[in-house]
Each structure stands twice: as C-alpha cells, then as structure tokens.
Amino acid sequence: MPDQVQQTEQYGVEHLAIIMDGNGRWAKTRGRPRSFGHRAGVEAVRRTVRNAPKLGVRHLTLYAFSSENWSRPADEISDLLGLLKFYVRSDLADLAAAGVCVRIIGSREGLKPDILNLINMAESKTAHNSKLYLNIAFNYGGRDEIVRAVQKVVDDPTGVVAKGGKLTVEDITAAMDTARGPDPDLVIRTSGEKRISNFLLWQIAYAELVFVECMWPDFDMEHLTAAFEEYRSRDRRYGGVVSAEGVAL
C-alpha cells in the first residue's frame, strides 16, 4: 500500500487517470470466460494502487464501470458488481491503513441500496486520509457528469445563475465529481484501443494521452514507468507555445 513503499523517481504526474481495458480479450486468448479476465483485472488494480504513489502520483482515477456497461449481458454485470463489492470489502481496511482516501465518482441515481451502502462505507471510512486520493469511476459517463454539473449550478439558489450572473468554466469545474482534486496530467488506456470512451471529458482537456498495447490484467510497474517516460518526453503547452527557456507561453 502507498505508505509502505518508498517513492522512486518523480515525473510530475500528480493526477493519473486510467481506462482499464482488455479484461475480456485477455481471458479469451486463454480460453477462459470474461469473468476470469475481470478477476485478474482486480489484481492489476491492486498493483497500480501500490505502484502509482512510488512515481509521485497523489490522485488516481480508475474507470471501473461506465454508464454504458449496463447494456452488457446480465451475468457479466452481476460479476462486475460482485467484484466491486469484493474489492471494497476485502481491501478497504488495508487502503484505510495505508492512507488512501477512496472516492466514488459517477451518477448514484438508480443504484441499489447495497451498492449505495458500500459506496458510503468506503468513502466514510477513508475520508480523513490524504496520502493517495483514489477515485473509482462507477456508473460513470463524461457527458452525464457535465450535464449533472451544469444542472447543479443552475439549481443552486445562491449560485451565479440565480443571481443573474454569467456561467463560467470555473463554476462548472467546481461542480464536477472530481472538483476536490486537480485535473489529470496523464491518461493511460490499456489494450491498444485509442479512444476516450466518454471518460473525464471535461477534465482531460489538456491531459497527455498514452495508449499501451498490453491488456489491463498484465499492466504492471514496467508498463506504468514506460508510460511516465513517454509523458516526460512531451511538451505540455496548454494551447500556447514554448519559449526559448522551455516555458509554456
């Protein structure tokens, strides 16, 4: 866990976001059902939660279950939800002891009471921690998040809209699910697919994107470090240009 490891080289990635893709294909190549791949993916989550802080990460956002995933076969949905419950229940004590603050982002509308209770338990038991902020995107969709954020601002009786003011980028940013942390510096997607898939659409406007070929269950420290090296090789200009001194203008 994060407080049990020494930090190694720092890359300037404060917030890392990952689209964990490839569990099903990983299982298929081994002649196993998709559920086998999802279970192996949980081990990759554990490795990443341990490894990311070694490279200086303070905020880690993992795309666990999208709002579109409800269209998958019922048995696969049941297995995914079962794995979420298993991970939280089996790892929560260790995460809390290691200083990890767990936050669940995404819509909670329509979720069953057992899932809501699990979310509330994970967040309440780790709320005081600050060594690593672990955001788990569950029932999450980037467009839905933007709509919910705008609606929150519009409905605020003491907010800018109610007072006749002009809506700003800052107003919406403050209403997003990730408002308590910085925007991602780096987004990694595994499995070789080169899509964002409705993930953190607002927050990754200036993030660097790295697509790696390995399937998520195989993702380890070597893959993570390689992605960070790729990140370090790039110039982050935020829409500007770089001066002769290497400063973004």
Residue 198: active-site member: no
- 210 inside domain: yes
- 246 inside domain: no
Q: What is the pLDDT at residue 6?
A: 47
Question: What's the pTM?
Answer: 0.90
- 193 inside domain: yes
Q: What is the pLDDT at residue 46?
A: 96
Q: Whole-angstrom Cα distance, residue 29 to residue 25? A: 6
Collect the ranges in the chain with pLDDT lower than 50: 2-7
- 1 inside domain: no
DSSP 174-197: HHSTTTTSPPPSEEEE-TT-----
Q: What is the pLDDT at residue 4?
A: 41
| Catalytic option among 69, 156, 198, 220 | 69
- 225 inside domain: yes
Total structural domains in the chain?
A: 1
Q: What is the pLDDT at residue 242?
A: 57
200 Ramachandran zone, left/alpha/beta (phi>0; psi -120 to 50): left
Residue 69: active-site member: yes
- 3 inside domain: no
What is the extent of the structural domain holding 204? 8-232
- 92 inside domain: yes
Supply the CATH number for residue 194's domain.
3.40.1180.10
- 208 inside domain: yes
Q: What is the pLDDT at residue 5?
A: 43
Residue 198, Cα to own-chain centre: how many angstroms? 12
Residue 120, Cα to own-chain centre: how many angstroms? 18
Q: Tokens 């995914």 correspond to what residue?
A: 80
